[in-house]
Amino acid sequence: MINNKRNLRKITYGEIALLILSMFASMYIISSTDTVSAEGTETLPEGISKSTCIEMSNGAVCQEGIAETQANECPGGWIPTSKEQVTECEEGCCYDENTGTFSTRTTKTLCENNGARWNNDPTCTNTQETKLGCCILGEETEYVTNKECELLTKSRGLEKDYRNVGSENECLLLSHLQERGACVIGKGEEILCSHKTLQECNSVRGQFFNGMMCSNEEINSGCERQASSGCVEGKEGIYWYDSCGNTENIYSTNKEESWNNGRFLNEYQSCNPTSDNAESTSCGNCNRLIGGGSVCGINNEGTATCLPLDCKSAPDTKGTKDRKNLESWCVYESQIGKGTSTVGSNHYVYSCNEGIVTSSTCGDYRTGICTENTITQEVSNEEFSVARCRTNMALQCLGNNQEGEDITKCEENPDCYLENFDYGKGYEFQLCLPRYSLGLKKNTEGEILSAQSYCNQANFKCQKVRVKTLFSGWETKAGNNCLDESFTEAMNNWCTSLGDCGAGVNVEERITTEGYTITGAPKLGSNYLQRIIGLASPLGGESIEAKDISGVVSNSIGRIENPPEGISYEEEDIEWMGSIVQGAGAVGTLAEAFALIGIDTALGNIAMTFGSSLSSVSTTLGTTPILGALSTLAIGITLGNLMGSLAAKVFGLGGEAAKIVQITGTLAGTFVAVDVLVAQAAVVSEAVGGAGAASGGAASGGGILSSTGGITMLPLYGVVLIAIAVIIIVAVVLKLLGIGKVKKTTAVFTCEPWQAPPGGTDCHLCDKNSLIPCTNYRCESLGDSCRLINEGTKEQSCVDISPNDNTVPTITPYEEALTKGYKIETTSKGMMIRMEDNSCIPENTPVIIGIKTNEYTRCKMAMEPGKDYENINEYYGNSMKRMNHSQELFMPSAESIAYEIADNLENPEEMSIEIIKQRINEQYNDYNIFIRCQDESGNANFDDYIINTCIEPRPDSKAPTISKSLPSDGSAVAYGSKEKIVKYWIDEPAECKWSNTEKTDYEDMTNSMRCSTSIEEREIYGWPCTANLTINNETNNYYIKCKDQPWLEGHENAENKRIISNDIKYTLSTTTTPLTITEITPTDSSTIYGGVEPISITLKTRTDGGIAGGISTCKYSLNSGSYIFMKTTNSNSHEQIFDLMTRGDKEISIKCEDNAGNIAEKKTNFRIELDTTPPAITRAYKNNNGITIITDENSECAYTKNTCTYDFVDGTRIGGTEKAHTLIPGEGDTGTYYIRCQDKFNNPRTGCTIILRDY
């Protein structure tokens, strides 16, 4: 219905609205200048005097009254003085910079409360901005300020013509000169007639006919009336044109009325002056201020018409909606909130501007988001939407997940949301995630690497741990949901919320699932993937509410730490946790169990040790019967518990099995102690009764039972042996039942950058919507081979760069990547890897193997042949498109795999460890990796590329070593630290302990480390172990020993096979001085002045002390928001620029941390104010050198010889840059100088500071 053809200058409704606003503002300020005073002549009681209230509860300002009787009327409190003595009540000039209006004798409080600028010039006569001049508005004139003239001319689509005149009468005289009429030049047949103002006609010496048109018959100019109609530049309506091309009156089908006998009519005298006449065929009196508004334009038929300013059926996020002129609204390409943005999508502001819908992008890659508020118009009660773009603060969300941050503040940032994760016990946590995820740039190698590191923040390992219990069977102790599809779904939600990561959908509803890998849990199901596709269909009616974000806006990006992967165990789980770390031993027969410890010798030693201890204790404590009895009971219980613990360890029992054996030992020890106490009681009884020596058998031990004092009891050694036997039997039974056995199953989710659909069949859809621009981001989201060409030109287009590519990539060895000491032999199906001496790769040895492709590809690897590319889960190297791919191959020992498999069998007897190990070695003898690579067009090799190698089992003769530590050996810890958690990586699975004493035996070390020992827990540097080291001295030495092959614990000859390292020395030192922040600018309690908003502020801070003379990394928090790393840091001098600051009170908190963990914190509070007061000239005088001008502040001055209306840079510069300036006239140069002096904030930007006349 409406096209974009318009042949007139567009006048925005915002300019008119601003003008109307200025009228209201002016009326408000002027009407509010009078104050009501309580002054009078009445006599006040003795002791009572008048006071001043700056602002009354009813809104009146600077009122005098009686504090004692009007206390409640002055919320801010009465000031015991007259209003003349109160600064805020001083009367002066009040100037509104937005509207150009001013009022005289206005109190400072009233002026500033209304957002205007005040100075102490009560009559405004010395205020440059309030000087009045003549504003030429076509045929009219207005006596107004320069700023008012600027707004008026903008609202009418005219060029500004502002003239300095002496009075309003002079301005009215100029108005007379602007009257229009016919201007005739020449005589007879050479007559020329045109429509001009009187002034214009006089300038060409023409004959002026006031108010007449050239077609008026009295003039006889030869111009025929109403020859055509059309739009006129700078006017709203449709006008008639005469045959000479002169504009006549407004078009109407009633020609006679419109011609008005050849005399001009204004808009109010023309047809239908009270209607907007939108799309009228009979009247061209368009009016943008009436009804919905209209303005002259060309319709689809090519005819001038009053086009409505409203937009009918304007496109919306979903469907269409009627919009009013100047209304703006948000359009989203997907559902919004909680990381639901689709790849390639952005936020847009759509606007209705005089019947035409236009759009603007809030920022490519979703760097900006669109917010929208709805305003209800008071008069019509209709809703009017206003939309705007603002910065997407997604990265600040991730900063809340850093250690030491208060995650509960997450949603103080409206772009963040707090997500709860619950995968079962030990895996319950919260994360602060972006509500509106960011797009990721992947155009260069560096950007691709950054995208991968960014997405990898959502990598997560979840372990389901089950322990076999006596009564409940297998119980899940951690990670109950780790192996469920719900785990994969929740992880993908986390992954996609970061940005263009994981399995996701693009703007054309094409889904790809190459952006994640999962092992140990199901892949994403079809129902979930269908829900993801649904995200590309926006719901409609959604919008992001505009909120105050001043506390969280910044222009910095913070570093993000990975979320913790570890499981947090409760105290009650410590026992079974030990079983997880050490591994439960294999189940053996009863005979094998006794053989493990050499049962005869072991039991004899235990009996002798405990018997000797009890005899000694009884002798020592016998003299104090009650104390001795209690002590004997306690010792018996303790020794029994120790016996149980020893038995649990001997039989490799953990968890509930170990607890049961310990309880059995405790009961047995109690039974032994009671037996001893009974014997002691009998002895004491006989001694008291004088019965003499005890009758036979009490101490002889001859026989199973003995009698003492009439009490029959077992001999002590018999009781001990029975107790030991009970403990052994219980331990063996539990061993046979597998009680305490632990099974661990791990799910690993890897979050990778999202991948576009292969090929480029959708490239052409990039610019299908004229209101949504085709950007590089949008284009490349449509297909892997889509590229934006001729960017920024009229020929810009999104094209498929390989439209006819149906050739599969070729794969060859990448010899440069191969680890030294190995060689490659090419085969018909791939390559073979061997050591240089033709032997196989040793177990537990990392080897890097590389491949090359002839084009950019992504490659995947499988452990079984014949899988298509899309059905393979594991990437070869990573998910990046590249031509060189490399992957580390690390094969653990067959024995370790065998023990781990056996420990996780439901029925341990179904397969022995030896058989498992044999089968693994058979696979190791001929080990194959099957490779498929796919190019950008979706072509993948049809046949597997096979990497063949073999793994050689070798006896483990090497002690474990530490491959890396964090912090590294010799590092320093924070000042005043008492302990430090250190992470070590061991080159093979091992159990480690530490001591502060050198050469302590492993078994005597009391400080255990928490080590990961299962195969899948290997990290890039090895198997992680953590220790909580105590800090006691300035230099602290720790001695670490590690014991390898933890899977052998509890098995035959385990101690003979396991190798213990020698002392591995590790040192930490303490920082001797704390880290301090020595300087912050802006300084605390300071005031900073700026000229215009936004204001640029540079935050600077210096640090000292700590581990390296103050070198540290600092971050800031603005107005209690989240901490963000400073732009320039990692030094002892740190800097951050805020280039969008506004006036008001600010608080910035600084937190710095050095490499030792020393932390320093400090804050500064300051105020920002605007300096909008121009320099004043306090004195001007003539001397021998010229004319000297003195200003009240540092400034620069310039002048012209003819007008005050000039750009400062165009004026002639006057010497001097501080307060004294000297104007040196040229030879014979006299007359008038129009001088403007500007301060460093360019105040004032228009007008003259002073006009000097030199005669």
Could you please report the per-residue DSSP string of 353-421?
A: ETTEEEEEES-GGGTEEEEEEEEE-TTT--EEEEEEEEE--HHHHHHTTSTTS-GGGGGGSTTEEEEEE
pLDDT digits (tens, 9 = 90+) for 554-596: 332 222 233 223 222 222 232 222 222 222 222 222 222 222 2
Residue 1072: burial class (beta carbons within 10 Å; 0-12, 13-18, 19+)? exposed
pLDDT digits (tens, 9 = 90+) for 152-200: 887 776 778 888 888 887 887 777 666 789 999 987 778 899 999 888 8
Q: Is the pLDDT score of 1152 beyond 90? A: yes
Residue 346, in any domain of the structure:
no
| Mean pLDDT value across residues 1163-1173 | 90
Kindly give, in sequence order, each residue whose CB lies less than 8 Å from that of residue 344, ignoring residues fewer than 6 positions away. Answer: 333, 439, 506, 507, 777, 778, 780, 781, 782
Instruction: Give the per-residue pLDDT at 851.
Output: 95
Report yes or no: 195 and 180 within 8 Å, Cβ to Cβ. yes
| Mean pLDDT value across residues 506-525 | 93
How confident is residue 641, by pLDDT bands cut at 50, 70 and 90? low
Residue 796, in any domain of the structure:
no
In this structure, the answer to whether residues 1141 and 1244 fall within a common structural domain is no
Report yes or no: 441 and 754 within 8 Å, Cβ to Cβ. no
Instruction: Report the candidate in 944, 942, 932 with the shortest Cα–Cα distance to residue 828.
Output: 944
Adjacent-strand bridge partners of 1007: 994
Higher pLDDT, 633 or 285: 285
Residue type, 963: S
CATH number for position 1158:
2.60.40.1220
In this structure, the answer to whether residues 29 and 144 fall within a common structural domain is yes
Distance from the first to the final alpha carbon of the chain? 67
pLDDT digits (tens, 9 = 90+) for 666-693: 555 555 555 555 555 555 445 444 434 3
In this structure, the answer to whether residues 880 and 979 fall within a common structural domain is no
Instruction: Give the per-residue pLDDT at 1036.
Output: 96
Kindly give, in sequence order, each residue whose CB lies less than 8 Å from that of residue 324, ignoring residues fewer than 6 positions away. Answer: 292, 310, 311, 352, 382, 384
CA 646/CA 639 separation, integer angstroms: 10
In this structure, the answer to whether residues 622 and 598 fall within a common structural domain is yes
Residue 1037, in any domain of the structure:
yes
User: How far from 196 is each of 199, 360, 824, CA to CA, in Å?
Assistant: 8, 41, 93
Instruction: Give the per-residue pLDDT at 598.
Output: 30
Strands (E), 1075-1192: 1075-1081, 1086-1090, 1095-1105, 1113-1118, 1124-1125, 1133-1141, 1144-1153, 1159-1170, 1177-1183, 1186-1191
How confident is residue 1040, by pLDDT bands cut at 50, 70 and 90? very high
Of 308, 336, 369, the domain-final residue: 308
Q: Is the pLDDT score of 512 beyond 60? A: yes
The number of CA neighbours under 13 Å toward the Cβ of 518 is: 23
Residue 352, in any domain of the structure:
no
CA 957/CA 1057 separation, integer angstroms: 9
Instruction: Report the candidate in 734, 704, 708, 731 with the shortest Cα–Cα distance to residue 719.
Output: 704
Instruction: Give the per-residue pLDDT at 1255.
Output: 60
In this structure, the answer to whether residues 1048 and 1122 fall within a common structural domain is no
In this structure, the answer to whether residues 246 and 117 fall within a common structural domain is no
How confident is residue 604, by pLDDT bands cut at 50, 70 and 90? very low
pLDDT digits (tens, 9 = 90+) for 902-914: 877 777 667 888 8
Averaged pLDDT score across all residues of the chain: 79
Say which DSSP state 799 is in: E
Residue type, 1206: Y
CATH number for position 1001:
2.60.40
Q: Residues 1067, 1072, 1075, 1079: is their CA dihedral positive or negative?
A: negative
Residue 594: burial class (beta carbons within 10 Å; 0-12, 13-18, 19+)? middle
SS3 label, residue 900: helix
pLDDT digits (tens, 9 = 90+) for 407-432: 888 888 888 999 999 998 889 999 99
Residue 804 tokens, joined: 């006819």
How many beta carbons lie within 10 A of that of residue 463, not counting itself?
Answer: 25
pLDDT digits (tens, 9 = 90+) for 348-397: 999 998 888 999 999 899 988 999 988 876 666 778 888 988 888 888 88
Q: Would you list the DSSP string of 594-613? A: HHHHTHHHHHHHHHHHHHHH
Residue 263, in any domain of the structure:
yes
pLDDT digits (tens, 9 = 90+) for 15-56: 333 333 333 333 333 333 333 333 333 455 554 567 788 777
CA 786/CA 760 separation, integer angstroms: 5
Instruction: Give the per-residue pLDDT at 71.
Output: 74
In this structure, the answer to whether residues 631 and 690 fall within a common structural domain is yes
Helix H or strand E encompassing 530: helix 526-534
CA 1210/CA 1216 separation, integer angstroms: 17
Adjacent-strand bridge partners of 1200: 1234
Residue 48 tokens, joined: 């009572």
Residue type, 477: K
Q: What is the CA radius of gyration of the chain?
A: 45
In this structure, the answer to whether residues 65 and 125 fall within a common structural domain is yes
Instruction: Give the per-residue pLDDT at 1138.
Output: 86
Adjacent-strand bridge partners of 484: none
How confident is residue 110, by pLDDT bands cut at 50, 70 and 90? confident
Of 717, 735, 753, the domain-final residue: 735
CA 1068/CA 957 separation, integer angstroms: 31
In this structure, the answer to whether residues 1117 and 1248 fall within a common structural domain is no
> How many domains, the chain?
7
Higher pLDDT, 562 or 716: 716
Assign 3-state DSSP to the chain and report helix, strand, coil percentages, each to 5: 25, 35, 40
Residue with tokens 């305490």: 740
In this structure, the answer to whether residues 660 and 677 fall within a common structural domain is yes
Residue 1155 tokens, joined: 């490499």
Of 911, 926, 952, the domain-final residue: 952
In this structure, the answer to whether residues 939 and 822 fall within a common structural domain is yes
Range of the domain at 1224: 1177-1254
Cα 1032-1035-1040 angle, rounded to 5 deg: 80
Instruction: Give the per-residue pLDDT at 1166.
Output: 94
Residue 651 tokens, joined: 């039989």
Kindly give, in sequence order, each residue whose CB lies less than 8 Å from that of residue 1077, ignoring residues fewer than 6 positions away. Answer: 1101, 1102, 1103, 1150, 1152, 1160, 1161, 1162
Residue 553, in any domain of the structure:
no
Residue with tokens 């819908």: 357
How confident is residue 539, by pLDDT bands cut at 50, 70 and 90? confident
pLDDT digits (tens, 9 = 90+) for 1042-1086: 999 988 877 776 677 788 999 999 999 999 999 999 999 999 999
Residue 1127, in any domain of the structure:
yes
Residue with tokens 């002839």: 854
How many beta carbons lie within 10 A of that of residue 1023, not counting itself?
Answer: 24
In this structure, the answer to whether residues 118 and 220 fall within a common structural domain is no
With a pLDDT cut of 90, the percent of the chain lying above it is: 40
Ramachandran class of 24: left when φ > 0, alpha when ψ lies in -120 to 50, beta otherwise: alpha
Q: What is the separation of C-alpha 333 from the centre of its chain, rounded to a whole number of angstroms?
A: 21
Adjacent-strand bridge partners of 352: 357
CA 580/CA 577 separation, integer angstroms: 5
Helix H or strand E encompassing 466: strand 460-469
Residue 605 tokens, joined: 């030693």
How confident is residue 1227, by pLDDT bands cut at 50, 70 and 90? low
CA 278/CA 285 separation, integer angstroms: 9
Residue 761 phi, psi dihedral angles, 5° rounding: -70, -20
